[in-house]
Amino acid sequence: MVVRGAPAIAIAAALSLAVEVHNLEQFGGTLNDAASLLANKLDYLVSSRPTAVNLSDAAIKLKEVISNVVATAADAKTVFQAYKYAAEIMLQDDVASNKAIGSFGASFLRDHLKASPQLSVLTHCNTGSLATARYGTAPGVIRSLYADGILQKAYCMETRPFNQVLHSGS
């Protein structure tokens, strides 16, 4: 298991195909050939982890991008460029979503903090940067609390698989 966590699996799959597409400089096919190649590769990636919902969602979104570009593009290279751009945007969006979750969660806890100026939190599942593209969801809240000077302690209760909490720096 090299990549773990549905969000990370989706981003890794999208970006790995972007790297492959980047290396197809001598592609001699048509627009439709390019679209078919990408769709088939996305289907193959989804089949590798059919239970990873983020992966199938990413594939659906990327296929939509491909379909829209094919309708207006002049050549296969344009289709490939649009795919690479869309995959990179997915990465940026995942990190932004994680940071927003962290900020919202920290804000919620801060607003409901009674008399104590500091807070200790417990997280069970590592949904941090090992499971997402970078920032993490639950650990994103912990990061935000720490940045705000409110975090006293973070208790990380789960270390599977492969002692993930130990690797996450929690």
- Give yes or no for a contact between 123 and 151, defined as CB atoms under 8 angstroms apart: no
pLDDT at 164 over 80: no
Q: Are residues 55 and 109 in the same domain?
A: no
Give the end of a domain, one of 95, 110, 134: 95
pLDDT at 95 over 60: yes
pLDDT tens, position by position, 110-157:
888 777 788 888 887 666 666 777 777 878 888 999 999 999 998 887
What's the structural domain count of the chain?
2
Q: Are residues 80 and 147 in the same domain?
A: no
Q: What is the DSSP string of 102-163?
A: HHHHHHHHHHT--S-S-EEEEESS--STTTSSSS-SHHHHHHHHHHTT-EEEEEE---TTTT
pLDDT tens, position by position, 72-83:
999 999 999 999
Beta-carbon contacts of 27 under 8 Å, excluding residues fewer than 6 positions away, are 33, 34, 76, 77, 80
- The tokens for 124 are 């069970």
- Domain assignment present for residue 1? The answer is no
DSSP state, 74? Answer: S
Q: Are residues 79 and 153 in the same domain?
A: no
**Average pLDDT rounded to a whole number, residues 22-31:** 88
Q: Are residues 44 and 125 in the same domain?
A: no
**Average pLDDT rounded to a whole number, residues 27-40:** 94
Give the end of a domain, one of 35, 63, 95: 95
Q: Are residues 81 and 154 in the same domain?
A: no
Q: Are residues 91 and 105 in the same domain?
A: no
Q: Are residues 74 and 102 in the same domain?
A: no
> So what's the pLDDT on residue 138?
79
Q: By residue range, what is the domain housing residue 152?
A: 97-168
Q: Residue 123's beta-bridge partner residues?
A: 156
Helix (H) or strand (E) holding 49: none
Give the end of a domain, one of 64, 95, 126: 95
